[in-house]
A and B are shown apart, each in its own frame.
Chain A
Amino acid sequence: MSTTTTETRKKEAPAGERVADWADGRLGIYSLAKANMRKIFPDHWSFMLGEICLYSFIIIILTGVYLTLFFHPSMNEVEYHGSYIPLQGQLMSEAFNSTMHISFDVRGGLLIRQIHHWAALIFLAAMFVHMMRVFFTGAFRKPREVNWVFGFLLFVLGMFTGFTGYSLPDDLLSGTGVRFMQGAILSVPIVGTYLSMFLFGGEFPGGDFVARFYSVHILLLPGIMLGLVVAHLILVFYHKHTQFAGPGKTNNNVVGMPLLPVYMAKAGGFFFLVFGVIAAVSAIATINPIWALGPYRPDQVSTGAQPDWYMGFSEGLIRVMPGWEINLWGHTLVLGVFVPLIIFPLVLVAIAVYPFIESWVTGDKREHHILDRPRNVPTRTGFGVAWITWYMVLLIGGGNDLWATHFHLSINSITWFVRIAFFVAPVLAFIITKRICLGLQRRDKDKVLHGRESGIIKRLPHGEFIEVHEPLNQEQLHTLTAHEQYAPLEIGPAVDENGVERKVSGSQKLRAKLSKGYYGEDNQIPKPTTEEYKEITSGHGHH
């Protein structure tokens, strides 16, 4: 009897299907696949930025696991007897020694180390750019605020995973960075020295921090990040991807191509493209040549010491801050270091909380799946550019010595430039960006109402020259006018209809003021109406 059942089953389904049946009976994969296998993803180049983040993260994990097979997270001092001649006989920690071993004696070890480090730099850069894409197109609006926060946490955790990672080889450069961190921790009022002693197992540098950073770098932070990445992706699937306005694209649909096969191939292929490029970069561009830096000694340093780029803005904060110290009642308040330590997270939080501020100002509770063109939200775009400017000014401050030596500038004037620009540059960037956005809005309005410049000059019978404007087709007209425009919030009259004074809270006033700043008369160009369009197109034709 059993043979007959097997035979009929064999006739019924091929092997692959039977495996799938088996799995479905236990995991419910068919329901999962029904919802996702042909899931539609919209196409736009900027949607790839997030993919670069994901893929570089995977590459970091793969190469990182390989590196743990050879790396010794120990600060025991050993004498170097590896194959790199210039460091022969030098005293160094086992961490440095094993990193030398990976770089010079393990075949392919150097390549994997360099892929790991390059992928980390690209990971952070891609997260930064991806975050800006999400910011400038308003993709963070309801229902995606939580995913924005997940992404932000990934960026911040990525910074610290990077920092703890590049500190592991215990080389002269990274040791200097760790010393910087320890000096910053010491500045914390009341508990600074305790934090430092607990973190380093005693006085700096001690013999513990490499082992401690190691478990933070390979287990604690990546573990949290992996969880956040999975949550981030689940939410992307659950919310369905945003899309730009265009013909056939509404807030209630998502237009694109299915996961199987197009995005399986495109996204899967893109992983290999990213990995391939990083491998090639690692073949030709040296990164973190610890053999040239040498092992860490607290009494030695090289010039031009720079952290990895994503830590550069904190470096800028600490370099340009005046060295204020307040000594009172036998205690020291090290403002010169503590203030940058406080501003450091605030710079990051400033961009993280923005979505919540905007949704408070608009009071908009609806879901948004159509992306904004940055020009159509001048205040947000201005704020974003101001933030990037702020960040970049601090990056310049972090590399003030390199700017000075490469461009033959005075380091004092660069420092003063950064001190002033820290306050002024974001404001200027905001104003300029907003003006540009409004100009682009006017241009769009012009295009809608008067058509596109065709480049054809026509001479009229009476001698006048005109340029022929070609009207846009309906698809273009729709795309340019699909965005929504808010009306500014009004507080209303100060007294109600009975002449009694109305109570308006301070936060309501602030909100009305902000709303006016966002959507007031001079802060957005009213989009063309059908009446305007009809009047111009039917009445006098082009002019």
Chain B
Amino acid sequence: MSSQENPEENLPSVQEKTEHGSVAVADENPFADPGLPPHEHRVQDIDERAAKRSERAVAFLFTLSMLATIGFIASYVAFPVDKSVYIFPIGHISALNFSLGMTLGVALFCIGAGAVHWARTLMSDVEVADERHPIEAEPEVKAKVMADFKAGAAESQFGRRKLIRNTMFGALAMVPLSGVVLLRDLGPLPEDKLRHTLWSKGKLLVNMNTNEPLRPSDIAVGSLTFAKPEGLEEHDHDFQKEIAKAALMIVRIQPDDIKDKQELEWSHEGVVAYSKICTHVGCPISLYEQQTHHVLCPCHQSTFDLSDGARVIFGPAGHALPQLRIAVNEEGYLEALGDFAEPVGPAFWERG
């Protein structure tokens, strides 16, 4: 495996070295390095008027930069932050953002353009060669380092006093544990948090938009309604966390069109309620195809058939959307008959 076994003859032969600048005799080797070509003068090197023109161009660019900076400060003072302006072909944009950006851009660009033009036309463009030296140390240097290291190691008695060595390794290995332990309070243990949502028996299904409890008659065929459990308000401290699990989508399907037996049992007069959270990586599903009752997650295009137990018909999701068992209470409102039977959202190891 070691590359030492590699015979040297497989490596390409080292190029014959021609000294820099020397011209190899063409008769001997037409491919030999002819050395650095002679320097070719630029117009600025021989014509002082051209050089003057370059000088003026560079100075012009630097001056333009100064003017642009003044323009930047003027824009900052002059344009109110909410003023919009029509710029062709972009359209209506913030006047302040546009003017600040353009003046800053010009101020910076002109410094750069001036410096580069200066370097290209006026500074010497004679190519010169620098020698390289091997990165590897000379054998004597290496021998000295090895000897020094051996001396130092021997003086420490590191190799001889094994008890010191082993306990030191033990101490150094253990001390970072304190740091790991300190990370424990970054968050709570998962326990069964991912298994439960706010839904429970008797909780009303509340329309996400109107904040009113839903009746079956509110759910029209072909519409997609989003709902949350009663009692969960936007201002609640843990609203984001709870809605991330409890978000519900409700559709109405002709009971005859429902293919899955359990789905039919868990529905109410064709009104079915499913978790809105995709079982792939947890995006909220928001696209509904009325004719086929397919819903699609816009993030990764997992597609579920709501008329067939919300099974996956396309895309990277691994299992069907959990269904919420619903019924109608005495006042005629839709209510949950319990929590979801399985965890909502992305799958995880303990899901089972």
User: 6 A-B contacts, Cβ less than 8 Å apart?
Assistant: A111-B100, A186-B348, A254-B130, A255-B128, A270-B116, A332-B348
Contact B134 A331 (CB under 8 A): no
Bound CA span A480–B122, Å:
32
Contact with B along A63-84 (1 / 0, CB 8 A): 0000000000000010000010
**Contact of B119 (CB < 8 Å), options: A261, A360, A486:** A261
| Chain B 118-132 interface residues, beta-carbon cutoff 8 Å to A | 118-120, 123-132
Give, as a whole number of angstroms, the nearest-CB distance from A86 to chain B.
13
Cβ-based interface call for B234 (8 A): yes
Among B6, B33, B277, contact of A489 (Cβ-Cβ < 8 Å): B6
B15 touches A332 (CB 8 A): no
CA gap between A206 and B315 in the complex, in Å: 28
Within 8 A of B (CB), among A189-229: 189-194, 196-206, 208
Knowing A180-B283, A334-B346, say if A273 contacts B36 (CB, 8 Å): no
**Which residue in A110, A276, A337, A505 is a CB contact (below 8 Å) of B94?**
A110
Which of A119-127, A152-160, A245-253 is the interface stretch?
A245-253
Are B130 and A299 interface neighbours, CB within 8 A?
A: no
CA distance A263 to B350 in the complex (A): 60
**In the complex, are the beta carbons of A105 and B31 less than 8 A apart?**
no
Stretch binding the partner chain, chosen from A16-24, A129-137, A314-322, A426-434: A314-322
When C-beta atoms are compared, the residue in chain B nearest to A528 turns out to be: B31
- Considering the complex of A and B, which 9 residue pairs feature the smallest CB-CB distances, nearest first? A283-B101, A183-B281, A269-B115, A276-B109, A363-B6, A248-B36, A272-B112, A280-B105, A484-B12
Could you tell me if B112 and A270 are in contact, using CB atoms closer than 8 angstroms? yes
Contact B30 A318 (CB under 8 A): no
Interface contact tally, CB-CB below 8 A: 400
* Chain A neighbourhood of B30, CB < 8 A: 474, 477, 530, 533-534, 537
Q: Do B132 and A253 touch (CB < 8 A)?
A: yes
Q: How far is the CA of A324 from the CA of B347 in the complex (A)?
A: 11
Identify the stretch in B48-56, B213-221, B235-243, B264-272 within 8 Å (CB) of chain A at 4 or more residues. Answer: B235-243
Taking a contact as CB atoms under 8 Å apart, the answer to whether B109 and A280 are in contact is yes
As a 0/1 sequence over residues 248 to 290 of chain A, the CB contacts with chain B under 8 angstroms (1 = contact) are 1111111111100111011011111111111111111010000
- Report if A523 contacts B (CB, 8 A): no
B contact set with A: CB distance below 8 Å: 1, 3, 5-7, 9-13, 15, 17-18, 20-21, 24, 26, 29-37, 76, 81-82, 87, 90, 93-94, 96-102, 104-116, 118-120, 123-132, 134-135, 183, 186-190, 193-194, 208, 226, 228, 234-235, 239-241, 243-245, 247, 276-277, 280-284, 286-287, 298-302, 312, 314-319, 345-352
Residue on B with the closest CB to A270? B112
Chain A residues within 8 Å of B135, by CB? 143, 238-239, 367
Residue of B nearest to A283 (CB): B101
Residues of chain B with a CB closer than 8 A to A401's CB = 298, 301
In the complex, what's the smallest C-beta–C-beta distance from A67 to chain B, in angstroms? Answer: 15
Q: Is the Cβ of B82 less than 8 Å from the Cβ of A325?
A: no
Known: A189-B349, A336-B318, A474-B32. A202 touches B187 (CB 8 A): yes
Q: How large is the interface on A (under 10, 10 to 19, 20 to 34, 35 or more residues)?
A: 35 or more
A331 touches B226 (CB 8 A): no
Would you call B284 and A250 a contact (CB within 8 A)?
no
Give A110's nearest chain B residue, CB to CB: B97
Check A193–B348 contact: CB distance below 8 A: yes
Q: Counting CB contacts under 8 A, is A40 at the interface?
A: yes
Q: Are B318 and A400 in contact (CB under 8 A)?
A: no
B284 touches which one: A208, A248, A300 (CB < 8 A)?
Answer: A300
Distance (whole angstroms) from the CB of A123 to the closest CB of chain B = 17
